[in-house]
Amino acid sequence: MGDIKKIAKVTLTIVLLISVFLAYKVSQVEFDYDFEAFFSKTDDETEFFEEHRRRFETDNDFIFIALANKPSVFDQDFLRKTRDFVDELKTDSLVEEVVSITHLEEYVKTPFSAAMFSRPYVHIDNPSKYAKDSVRISKHPEAKVFLSKDQTSLLINVKHRQYLSKEKCDLLKKNIDRLLKKYEFNDFKYAGRTIGLGYYVDKMVFETGLFIGLSFALVIIFLLLAFKSFWGLWIPLIMVGFSMLWIVGFMGVAGEPINLILTILPSIIFVVAMSDVMHLVSKFLEELRNGHTKEDAVRIAYREVGKATLLTSLTTAVGFLTLLFVDMQPVQSFGIFTALGVILAFVLAYTLLPSLLILVKAPKVAKKKNTETLWYKVLHASFIWMLKRRVALFFGFLALMGISVFGSSLVINDYFLLEDLKKSNEMRKDYQFFDENFMGLRPFELAIKVEDENKLITDYDVLSEINKVDEFVEENYELNESFSIIKILKIANRTEHGGQMKYYKFPTEEETIDYLNRLEKFDKKGQLSVIIDSTKKHGRISSSIGDVGMIKVKEMNANFQNFIAENINTDLVSFRLTGTAHLLDRNMSNLSMNLFWGLGLAVIIVSLLMGLLFRSIKMVVIALIPNILPLVMLGAILGFSGVELKVSTALVFTISFGIAVDDTIHFMSKLKLELNKGKSLMLAMKRTFLSTGRAIVLTTLILIAGFLMLMFSDFLGTFYVGLLISCTLLFALISDLFFLPVLVIFFFKPKNKSTSNQQ
């Protein structure tokens, strides 16, 4: 006895020293939210886009600011404030350019002179011209995008320095807020990557702390209800706390930031660690009630439950590691560190937990006989109910499987840029405001390449092909306005003809040559350099659209490709869709297939591990069916409810399978143990149901409650993870208790039918 206590003390000391080091590393963990992290690093589309923006510029380093004034923006005081606001904003060191209707000018050449003069779109200091200004703006495509349809809001486009860090984004937002307050703009909205980055990271920091706090509050309530003792509270609480500390500390050691997906990591580690603890502690208490000493109870618990706990940890870790099939860095990081967290929780269950069980005085609840507990009475009645209705249950579950398969076929794979924000979220409302009233915030980028080595992008026949495409994409993608060489030529043509709108069209070859020569000579603002590269072999058409969803964009992209194939001389010039939004669509489109293969691999590996445990192909099949059913039912929920398959909802399948299979392994491991003792199948099933059933029910309830905490998130993806995993775990519990035993009874015939040693 002295030796085992000495080993426990040494082990406890080592665990505490490691924990102190990891606690220090926790302080070094940062938070990060980057859309581009979801880009595939092995896809040639990603490489092409990176080369494209090196040639020109990024497509999402901008901020839209909408200033409202009712009944109309054509109010002198408001326009003067806006002009002064824009002038001061231009002086910010992080800002490269600010475009506003208050500063836009139209250049016009009169028929009586070769000279060119400019006139503002808004004569701010001459209100008598506001009516004419309003009409003229509504007719000019490059200007009308800066006014809302009802002319109660105006748009300010702020182009800032590229690749701003989180700190610089926060600083720029702070400076904008300061100016908005200074000029007393109370009715405003703003949006863009800079605004979203700060919001997402701040919200992630808050929610990570919130979930950890809620998890601990939850575990306190459940443990008090389950064990009704202080011992039953603080032992599991310490285990869960140390498991969370270790995995977050290891993230600090690895320098891995917490991204949007990793915010749910503490909740997952909480439930995984609690599952290990509950199975081991429940067996420990059961053996104490059977009259064993504390040391013997620990040995028996780890001998009978330890193997199953090891196997469940391996299967859960394998399930998460299959996320490496998804070519998205945030998803891969989630898989790696969640798998690592599962292993660390297992290590603590085999080091810290037994040390505490040996060194701490046994609880009083252990004196109560097993047959006197409420758990025993409820489970005994449930077992009898299951036996009497096993035929009906078998066909009932088969019918449920059929319905679920049909429902799963209805699942839609779609993606929206703002899918992680609830419809009630204020930021989402602001983004939708820009979609509805101005240009949307989803970047649209089209790369142009001259294929004929003897031609340049400024040659008229090349420009003619680009003009066809420019007109098509504007209509096909419902662009309010696009930025391209064609638009500059149309404006130049209108300018040359006295500002008459009927000349806002693609000019003749002779006019085009003249305009381009003058543009290259007097292009002081460098407009051409951001749409045509220095070699004149590459160009771009750039704009932004509303957040219409991946399915709609795919349809528009198909129309575009058909148009190119039928109407454009691709031997002369080629066109290629690119940009941040395009790459996100591409990766999200491949997500479901990648996860499908990953989940399939997880099933195969879990089957192999279970095969090693049971040494029976039939038992492996029997054990897997109850775990496939909850996944199919999950697909049915998505299909019947119309919830799209996206990153968050797709991850649920992998997470659910990795966690739900644990209870099946514990159940089947206990059944195998009882059969090896020589008991009949029915008696072995009864003892398994009564012994393991309590731990399965209790851990599942804690798991469900733990994941339900995620529904407090403002992120819709996190909300769905919590809700859907909770539903799946509930299905898995019912399947393990009332479908798995039925399958075993009907289809498994143990080789050893001896009834010796039955009690």
SS (H, E, C) 378-438: HHHHHHHHHHHCHHHHHHHHHHHHHHHHHHHCCCCECCCCCCCECCCCHHHHHHHHHHHHC
3 state SS for 652-714: HHHHHHHHHHHHHHHHHHHHHHHHHCCCCHHHHHHHHHHHHHHHHHHHHHHHHHHHHHHHHCC
Q: What is the pTM of this model?
A: 0.74
What domains sit in the chain, N to C, each tagged with a CATH number? 1-30+229-368 (1.20.1640.10), 60-198 (no CATH), 373-409+616-759 (1.20.1640.10), 435-581 (no CATH)
Specify whether the CB–CB gap between 433 and 661 falls below 8 A. no
Confidence at residue 758, expressed as pLDDT on a 0 to 100 scale: 39
Confidence at residue 364, expressed as pLDDT on a 0 to 100 scale: 66
Confidence at residue 226, expressed as pLDDT on a 0 to 100 scale: 66
Confidence at residue 456, expressed as pLDDT on a 0 to 100 scale: 93
Specify whether the CB–CB gap between 1 and 223 falls below 8 A. no
Closest Cα partner for 600 from 369, 325, 350?
325
What are 661's two structure tokens?
Answer: 């299979």
| Torsion, CA 82, CA 83, CA 86, CA 90, rounded to 10 | -170
Which regions of 36-179 does DSSP assign to beta strands (E)? 62-68, 95-100, 105-109, 116-120, 153-160
> Which residue is it, tokens 């059933």?
693
Confidence at residue 366, expressed as pLDDT on a 0 to 100 scale: 47
∠ CA 555-561-566 to the nearest 5 degrees?
Answer: 130
Confidence at residue 259, expressed as pLDDT on a 0 to 100 scale: 73
Contacts of 535 (CB under 8 A, 6+ apart): none
Confidence at residue 756, expressed as pLDDT on a 0 to 100 scale: 38
Confidence at residue 260, expressed as pLDDT on a 0 to 100 scale: 67
Measured in whole angstroms, the distance separating CA 232 from the mean position of its chain's CA atoms is 36
Specify whether the CB–CB gap between 708 and 725 falls below 8 A. no
Confidence at residue 316, expressed as pLDDT on a 0 to 100 scale: 83
Over the chain (759 residues), the average pLDDT of each successive run of 10 is 80 92 87 70 85 85 91 94 95 92 85 71 93 91 89 93 83 93 92 80 77 75 71 80 89 83 77 79 81 86 82 83 80 88 91 89 61 70 89 91 90 76 80 84 91 93 95 89 89 87 91 86 70 91 87 92 94 93 81 74 77 76 85 89 77 79 82 84 87 80 80 81 87 89 84 45
Backbone angles phi, psi at 108, to 5 degrees: -135, 140
d(CA 443, CA 579): 7
What is the residue-wise DSSP string for 304-345? HTHHHHHHHHHHHHHHHHGGGGS--HHHHHHHHHHHHHHHHH
Confidence at residue 265, expressed as pLDDT on a 0 to 100 scale: 81
d(CA 75, CA 532): 39
